[in-house]
Amino acid sequence: MKKHTTYKYNINRQSLLVCLLIISCCVIACKKETKVKIEKEVINKVAPISIKGLQQRSYNSEISFEKNLEDTEKYKSILISYPSDSLKIYALVTIPKSQKPKNGFPILIFGHGFHPEPKKYGVSTKTGKDWRPGDYYRDLPEVFAENGYLVITPDYRGHNISEGFEFTQTSYLASTYYALDVLNLISTLSTFENTNTEDVFFLGHSMGGDVGLKTVLATNQIKAASIWAGVSASTKEQALYYGKLYDKNNDKTTSQSIKNYMGKLNAAVSSLGFEYNIDSGDAINYIQDINTPIILHHARWDASVPYQWSESLASKLFEYHKKFELYSYPSKEHLLTGENRNIAIQRDLAFFNKTRIIKQEQ
C-alpha cells in the first residue's frame, strides 16, 4: 500500500512538472506574441511620410531607357524613367566623355528647387521647348559632368511629364514625396554602366535642399551632400515665412494670421488618410541621425530662402558633431551666378574629393 501510494505520488509530481512546463511555454509564447504585436503597432503608427517612415521603408526600382538627348564634345545626355510608388518618373542623365576612372565615374544626384508650374519644369523659357533641366539650372549638371561626374537630375513626381501631379499640390508635404522619388532612384544606381556606386553625392538647391536632407536621413549611400540656399527650417517656420512674404498686410502677425498661412498645409494633412504630426516630417528635428558630411552655400541677402536658415542648420550640425562647412556670399541671388557660382562649384568639387580621398586612404 505504501509502495502503491509512492508510485501514485510520483506520477502526480511528474504530471505537475509537465503542466508547469507547458504553462511556462505558453506564457513565454504569449509574451513574445504580445511583444511582436506591440512592435507592429509601433511601426504601424509611424506615418509613411515622417522621417522615421522614410527610414523604415525599403526602396526597389529599375530604370528604363527612354531616348538620347544632347551629344557634345564633353558630355552626352539621355532621358530615363523609373517607377516610384507606382508612378513613372523621368530623369535626365548627363554622362561625361572624359576618361573613365578605374572604379567608374562618381555619381551626382541633382535635386532642383520649387517650380511654380511643375508641368513646365525643364521647359526652356527662351524657346518653349522641353530642355531639361531648363534655362535656370542648365549649366549645373553640365559643369559637374565636365568634371567627371555622371549627373542624374530627376523630375520629381508631377513635374514635366512625370506622373503624380496631385502630389505637387500637397503644400509643404511635397518635398517628402520628392525625397521618395530620389530614394527610389538611388536603389537603381547599381544598374548604371561605368559608375562607382561607392561614390554617390547629392547637390540640392532651395527646396531641393530639403529633399536632400530627408534623403540623407533615410540612406547612408550618399557620401557627401551640397545644399545651395536650402530650405531647412521647420514646416511651421516655412509656412509663417512664406505666408508673410506673400501677404500684402504682413506688418502684423497674429495667431489667426498664422492659422491662415497654415490653412493649405492643414488641409493637405487632413486628407492624408493617416495620422501625421507635422514635426515628425521635419529634417531639422533629426539632424542627430545624419551621417553624411554636408557643405552649405547661401547668399547673405537671399529673400527667397533666408540665409539664417543655413546658419541654424549649421548650428545643429555643430551641436551634434557632424561634418559640415558653411559658405556665405555677398549677394541677394537665390541661385548663385557668375563668379559666386564658379567658386561654389569648386568648393563642392573639393569637398566631394576630400570625402573620396579619405575613403581611399582608409
Contacts of 141 (CB under 8 A, 6+ apart): 77, 92, 94, 108, 110, 133, 151, 153
pLDDT of the residue at 7: 40
CA–CA gap between residue 267 and residue 315 (Å, rounded)? 32
Least Cα distance to 218 among 350, 59, 28 occurs for: 59
User: Residue 152's closest CA among 192, 116, 100?
Assistant: 192
Q: Residue 109: what are its φ and ψ, rounded to 5°?
A: -100, 125
Residue (of 98, 196, 210, 94) closest to 152 by Cα position: 94
Nearest to 178 by CA among 213, 142, 143, 228: 213
Asked if residue 91 lies in contact with residue 79, where contact means CB atoms within 8 angstroms, the answer is: yes
Match 493649405 to its residue by C-alpha cell.
264
- Reference 199, options 292, 112, 111, 283; nearest CA is 292
Query: Hey, what's the cell of 124?
Result: 526652356
Mean pLDDT of residues grouped by 10 in the chain (362 residues)? 42 55 56 41 76 97 98 98 98 97 97 98 95 96 98 98 98 98 98 97 98 98 98 97 90 92 96 96 98 98 98 98 98 98 98 81 58
Residue 362: the pLDDT is 58
Domain residue extents for the chain: 2-45, 52-361
In the CATH scheme, what is the code of domain 52-361?
3.40.50.1820
Give the distance from CA 299 to its chain's centroid.
Answer: 23
